[in-house]
Amino acid sequence: MAQKIHPAIIAQNQRKLGEDLKRLQGLVKEVHLDVVDGKFAPNHSLDFPFRLPAGFTYSTHLMIKDPEAWIARQGKKVQLYIPHLEALKDVPAYIRRMKGSGRKIALALLPETPVFRLTPFLPHLDYVLILTVHPGFYGSPFLPHTLRKIKVIKARNPRCKVIVDGGMNPQIIKKAARAGADYFVSGSYLWNAASPKKALQELQGSLRAV
């Protein structure tokens, strides 16, 4: 399956969310939404009952203290939710509920969390998101050591798709691809560019060169 780049959106209000989605129309089909509650990570994003237009497939990275409460309230709006392992009170129970609902199962890991904490659950996971920066903001410094987790995940569950999130620019995305990542989340590199379309093309060009 082809590697994919997913634009990330951090938005404090509906107007900003709508503007960013409009800029992505015609560029991508899949969008990565960062939900941040100011408690799990030091920022606020999409922590309101937002509205989403049709035309995209949405994944949500839930950087929040109580992801299951959020899923119960707003989960029907999106196709994939990615709560943090560190925030779930009972991971096996969460996995059972996701299986029962027919949903794909994804978990995220903070940079400081050792990958061995995830290994008991890997046989059940469809996706793992590895944070390659400290969470909450666009433009946080890339943490190279986080890429070592990919090899462990792939060795224990080759079918599991690994998402890397943070610091992706044309140089770093090559390193992440060579380490075995499948999907790449890009925020600041796209949104700080004069043309998100051109920035996306540059990232795609780097992937083709791997």
Distance CA 46, CA 34 (A): 7
Catalytic annotation present for 20: no
Strand partners, 82: 61
Cα–Cα separations (whole angstroms), residue 121 to 5, 85, 110, 114, 189: 26, 10, 16, 14, 32
Check if the beta carbon of residue 205 is closer than 8 Å to that of residue 25: no
Out of 37, 66, 126, 165, pick the active-site residue: 165
Out of 20, 34, 37, 182, pick the active-site residue: 34
Token output for 140: 């946080």
Check if the beta carbon of residue 84 is closer than 8 Å to that of residue 110: yes
Catalytic annotation present for 165: yes
The SS3 assignment for 36 reads strand
Catalytic residues: 34, 165
